[in-house]
Structure 1
């Protein structure tokens, strides 16, 4: 009898090992759940609200902000946007979009594609960016916001930058802090305003640290001429998510945000369990 009890206990311990590993990967929280976060940011065209934009303010990306990794180095999106990608020392291993956190998901994995299509067809909105990623969510996850950055050209060059945070205690919460900036070439601004501005190579760069200096000049990449932020608008709001089946809509006079949290069953535990049993059985 003792031998049978020992075998049963050993099997139970083996089955529990992968769960412990999964817990460590979820920021050490045994109750951390995984969610897919879908985000769409758009602006209103022909906005006649008459509301003036506030005085231009500087923005600095939080030091703990997480930058999404690209799912494929050679992936191409049929999008008019081009994302601002910060240089980093990523591992050569290709990210696994099924099991890894903070991976920018490809278009076929995003859940708000129909909404984006409707916005683009209406002619009244301009989609600035669409993103989706998966992540563990706990009471601590809100302390590490996700960096959101995109640039779009046209009649107005627009730079979107800011963060999205997701946390869960008694309820799910989403915090957004996004800035929409209008950019103009510094030389054009100086000509129209009659003000000459002397700049140097220390002008703050979007790629380097995602913040603007006191002179409101940014560089899109090293060596590029500076652009001046002539207007910017902030949308900042906290939203409690009562129903994950609903798409949250956050409104403001200039830009709108669609966000949806979808529970995600990360398959690591099953895969690791099989590997663990096979290792011990051999």
Structure 2
């Protein structure tokens, strides 16, 4: 009888180990690829705005290489905006000032891709508004936004900057609010229908 108890105890200790090893083998043999992204086109739309009455998040100047490693957002990538009603409400409010509203399409994958966005007249390598957005896609979309709102003097020399830097993970198709004190952003990343 004692032998049977020892055998039963041994089986209860060994069975979970064997099952775990079997599960590990299955995981290696057949990985879950249902969420792995290929190069699919997505529409990205962002609204950068100032929240009046909030102190500036930073007073350091934008670096000379603010767009290092980012692709310039070409005219062929730009798309029409869909959040115009929301922009109108922000602009009509006394508490907000819309600084930038852009929409574009780009392929997304698990490898992060960065685009450079600017607005206004370039002077000595800087724009009144400049920044980058890095996006990568898996189960969710990872967003890393880094923007500068610059003050340039009459000669085009950079005097001061406000910075907005936020990183987050969002569900595709959801409008997301990123708060950074005086500057804030609304961003939406939506899959585009596959071409027929």
**TM-score (norm. length: structure 1):** 0.50
- Matches of 1:67 and 1:179, distance apart in 2: 16
Bigger proportion of residues as strand: 2
Question: Any unmatched runs of 5+ in structure 2?
Answer: 1-35, 122-126
- Matches of 2:43 and 2:62, distance apart in 1: 32
For 1:40, the equivalent position in structure 2 comes to 47
Matched, 1:228 2:157: yes
Matched, 1:110 2:81: yes
Q: Match of 1:114, SS? A: helix
For 1:192, the equivalent position in structure 2 comes to none
Aligned residue-pair number: 156
Q: 1:61 to 1:55 in 2, by over 3 A?
A: closer
Matched, 1:258 2:183: no
Q: Report if aligned partners of 2:45, 2:104 keep a CA contact under 8 Å in 1.
A: yes
Q: Report if aligned partners of 2:57, 2:164 keep a CA contact under 8 Å in 1.
A: no
- Matches of 1:69 and 1:133, distance apart in 2: 9
Bigger Rg, structure 1 or 2: 2
- For residues 54-133 of structure 1, the aligned pairs below 5 Å read 54-70=59-75, 95=76, 103-105=77-79, 109-133=80-104
Matched, 1:135 2:106: yes
Question: Any unmatched runs of 5+ in structure 1?
Answer: 1-28, 71-94, 96-102, 153-157, 186-225, 271-282
Q: Match of 2:166, SS? A: strand
Q: Report if aligned partners of 2:144, 2:168 keep a CA contact under 8 Å in 1.
A: yes
- Matches of 2:174 and 2:139, distance apart in 1: 18
Q: Match of 1:251, SS? A: strand
- Matches of 1:53 and 1:133, distance apart in 2: 28
The offset of 1:57, in angstroms, is 4.7
Q: 1:30 to 1:174 in 2, by over 3 A?
A: closer
For 2:118, the equivalent position in structure 1 comes to 149
Q: Match of 1:257, SS? A: strand
- Matches of 1:59 and 1:251, distance apart in 2: 25
- Matches of 2:48 and 2:182, distance apart in 1: 11
The offset of 1:228, in angstroms, is 2.5
**TM-score (norm. length: structure 2):** 0.70
- Matches of 2:101 and 2:62, distance apart in 1: 25
Give the aligned CA root-mean-square deviation in angstroms.
2.3
For 1:86, the equivalent position in structure 2 comes to none
Matched, 1:181 2:186: no
